[in-house]
Amino acid sequence: YGSELLRNFSIIAHIDHGKSTLADRLLELTGTIQKKSSGKNEQVLDKLKVERERGITVKAQTASMIYNFNGRDHMLNLIDTPGHVDFAWEVSRSLAACQGALLLVDASQGVQAQTISVFHNAKERGLTIIPVLNKIDLPAAQPERITAQMQSTFGIDPEDIIRISAKSGKGVDSILEAIVTRIPPPSGSLAAPLKAFLFDSLYDRYRGVISYELLGDKVASCHTRKKYEVTEVGIMHPEEVPTDSLRAGHVGYIACNMKESSEAHIGDTIHRVGEPVEPLPGFQPAKAMVFAGVFPVDSSDFPKLEESIKRLTLTDRSVTVQRESSSALGQGCRLGFLGTLHMDVFRQRLEDEYDANIIITAPTVPYKLIYRDNKEVFVSNPTEFPETSDTASRVKEIQEPIVKASIIVPEEYFGDMMDLCFSHRAEDLDHRYLDSGTATSARIILTCTIPLSEIVTNFFDQLKSRSSGFASFDYEDAGYKQSDLAKMSFLLNAKPVDALAIIVHRSAQDKIAREWVKKLHKVIPRQLFEVPIQAAIGRKVLARETLSAMRADVTAGLYGGHYERKMKHLENQKEGKRRMKKMGTVDLPQEAFFDILSNK
Ligand code: GTP
C-alpha cells in the first residue's frame, strides 16, 4: 500500500463510551474478523483477561483493516487507546503514531471529564478529529442536547458529527468513509532510508521481544546503538500476520533477536544498519506517581516473583521497579505506578498471568524533602521518611505532589462533591455550568487542587458512590506544595513493623491511627501472651489496642479479609505448614499482612 492509501487513526473517548465496541464493528465491517452470530459482545482488542473482566481497556492495541473506497483498497490502521485517567501516557503514545482520531461521545452521558482531556491531547498533536455520537439507540440518548454540548465545549461543527450505534452497527459505515476522506495519509517517502518509530513492545516466550513499529533486514536502535537481525515483519490483522515488508507509514510489528525486555525503548527510532537517521521525536517518559512494595506471600518465591514482574513490565513500560527488603516481609520489589487503578490492574495481571501470590503495601506518593542546606530529596517509601525529631532539626520543608482535578457532575450532586473534596484537603475550588441554559439536570464542572495522596486511596470509589455513578473525574499534575506531614509507625509489642509505616497529614493523624490500630487488632492472630498494638508518630503514641493472650485452641478463623484471595493463596501453601514471621517476639503469618494490606 502506497502511503496515499494508508490511514492511521485511533479512537479516543471517556471510559465506557464504546471504543472497543466500535473497534469490533469496524473490524467486522471490513471483514477483518467474523461477525459473531452469538451476538455476544466479546471485544477483540481487549486481549488481556483483566480487561475482559473489568471491561476496561488497559493496553493500547493495534489492528490493520482493508477498506475499499471508490474502487481502491485502503489500509486503515487502528491504534486503540485505553480510557482511564491513569493511562493518559499510553494515550499520548498511541496518538503519536496517528494522523486522526475518532472522538467518541456517549449520546446519553454526554461530554465527560476524560472526553475533554483526550480531545485537547489530540488537538495539541494536530490530529484531524472526527466527532462521533455513539449509543443513539439508547432510550436515554439525547443527541440534540449532546451535539450542542460538543459544539459549545469543543467548537465542533454539528454538521461534522456522525451519529452511530456501535452496538447495532447503525451508521458505522459512514465512519469508514470519513476516515478515508477526512484524515490525511501519513507522510513518508519510500525512497528515504528506513526510519521506524517504536511505540510498543511485548515479550513472547518463544520468540523474544516483539516490537510494534511504524515503518528490513538488519536494523539498529538509535537509542542503544544495538543491532538486530529481523526474523519476521507483519501487520496486526487483527492477530499478527506476517508480510513481505513494512513500508513508510505502515503500522506493524518487527520480531527480532532482542533478548532483554529493557532493550526495547518506547519512543526509540529504528533504522537500517549502515543507514543512520535522525531519531524521530520520542515522548515524555511516564512518571510514576504511586509507589508500593510487592512481596511474595512465600518468601522463597522471590526469584519467581521478580522474573514475573520483569516480564510484565515489558508489556507495561510505565511501571518502575527497584528491589526492596523489609524486615517484616523479606525480599521484594518496590514498584512505581501511574495511579492506583494502574497498580490494581498490574497486581491482577501478576496474579493471573504468573499465578503469583503477593502482598502489596499501602500506596505512597513521592514526597519532596527540602533540607536546611537546600538539598532536595524525593522519598516514596515511608521507611525512608525522616523521623519527626530529624525533621525538626534538618528538614526545612516537606512538600507533597498536588494535582488539578476536574469533576463533571449533575447539579443535584454538587453539594456532595464539594463535601468530598473538602474532606480530602481540596483547595481553590471553582465551578461552572457545562450546559448553559438547560433547566433540568444541568451539569457542573468542578475544579480544584487536591493532594495526590488523597486521591490514590479510595477517592474514586467515593466519588462514584456519592454521585450514584454520575460523576466523572480527571486530573493532571500540578506540581508540589508545602504540607504538614509525618511518618506514622505501627508497633507490635513495642517494636515497629517497617512494612506498615505510612505518611499522614497531621490534620488526620488521630483518626487514621485509631482506624489502623482497630484493623490490626482484628487481623493479627492472638499470641501466647498479651500484645499491645500501637500507632505512633515519633515517640508519641496516638492510639492503642491490646490483643489478649490466646486461650487453648482459639487458632482458627482469627482474621477476616478477602475470602477468595485468601483461599487462593492458602491452597498454594503447603498443608498445615504456616510460615510464621517473627516480629520481635510476635509470630505473624504472612497472610496476616495480606489481610491487613489488601482490604481497604
Ligand atoms: P474502555 O475501553 O474501558 O474505555 O471502554 P470502551 O470505551 O471500550 O467501552 P466499551 O466498548 O467496552 O462499551 C462500554 C459499554 O457500552 C458496553 O457495555 C457496550 O456494550 C455498551 N455500548 C457500546 N456501544 C453501544 C451502543 O451503541 N449502544 C448501546 N446501547 N450500548 C453500547
Helix (H), strand (E), coil (C) string for 23-63: HHHHHHHCCCCCCCCCCCCCCCCCCCHHHHHHCCCCCCCEE
Q: Is the dihedral angle over the CA atoms 321, 322, 323, 328 positive or is it negative?
A: negative
For residue 138 and ligand 1, the question of a CB distance below 6 A is answered with yes
More confident residue, 470 or 507: 507
Rounded Cα–Cα distance for residues 200 and 264 (Å): 8
Distance 25 CA to ligand 1 centre (A): 12
Pairing label, strands 208-214, 320-326? unpaired
Q: DSSP state, 506?
A: G
pLDDT digits (tens, 9 = 90+) for 178-209: 999 999 988 765 555 555 666 555 555 454 45
pLDDT at 535: 95
Average pLDDT over residues 60-68: 78
pLDDT at 424: 93
For residue 141, which of 23, 17, 225, 37 has the smallest C-alpha distance? 17
For residue 201 and ligand 1, the question of a CB distance below 6 A is answered with no
pLDDT at 268: 73
pLDDT at 477: 83
pLDDT at 319: 86
pLDDT digits (tens, 9 = 90+) for 103-116: 999 999 999 988 98
More confident residue, 352 or 377: 377
Sequential DSSP letters for 218-241? EEEETTT--EEEEEEEEEESSSEE
Rounded Cα–Cα distance for residues 179 and 296 (Å): 48
As beta bridge partners, residue 427 has 449
**Contact (CB, 8 A) for 283 and 277:** no
**Contact (CB, 8 A) for 271 and 194:** yes
Residue ranges for the known binding site for GTP are 13-20, 80-84, 134-137
Average pLDDT over residues 380-403: 84
For residue 300, which of 357, 347, 350, 351 has the smallest C-alpha distance? 357
ipTM: 0.96
The cell for 313 is: 513490565
Q: Which residues contact 253 (CB under 8 A, 6 or more apart)?
A: 210, 211, 212, 213, 232, 233, 234, 235, 236, 240
Distance 18 CA to ligand 1 centre (A): 3
Inter-axis angle of helices 88-95 and 113-124, to 10 degrees? 30
For residue 15 and ligand 1, the question of a CB distance below 6 A is answered with yes
Q: Ligand 1, atom 16: nearest CA belongs to which residue?
A: 18
Q: Which residues contact 190 (CB under 8 A, 6 or more apart)?
A: 2, 3, 247, 248
Q: What is the dihedral of CA 230, 235, 239, 240, to 10 degrees?
A: -20
Q: How far apart are the first and last CA of the chain?
A: 53
The answer to whether residue 213 scores a pLDDT higher than 80 is no
Q: What angle do CA 377, 282, 2 make, to 5 degrees?
A: 165
HEC secondary structure over 355-396: CCCEEECCCECCEEEEECCCCEEEECCHHHCCCHHHHHHHEE
More confident residue, 239 or 319: 319
pLDDT at 465: 87
Burial of 437 (0-12, 13-18, 19+ CB in 10 A): exposed
Q: Is 90 left (phi over 0), alpha (psi -120 to 50) or beta?
A: alpha
Write the CA distances from 81 to 59, 203, 210, 367, 472, integer angstroms: 7, 20, 19, 30, 18
Rounded Cα–Cα distance for residues 326 and 139 (Å): 55
The cell for 554 is: 482459639
For residue 19 and ligand 1, the question of a CB distance below 6 A is answered with yes
* Mean pLDDT over each residue of the chain, to the nearest integer: 79
The answer to whether residue 572 scores a pLDDT higher than 60 is no
The cell for 301 is: 518465591
For residue 403, which of 375, 383, 426, 386 has the smallest C-alpha distance? 426
Distance 20 CA to ligand 1 centre (A): 7
Residue 19 binned pLDDT confidence (cut-offs 50, 70, 90): confident
pLDDT at 271: 77
pLDDT at 578: 45
Pairing label, strands 218-221, 227-236? antiparallel
For residue 497, which of 536, 444, 550, 439 has the smallest C-alpha distance? 536
Distance 64 CA to ligand 1 centre (A): 21
For residue 291, which of 508, 503, 514 has the smallest C-alpha distance? 503
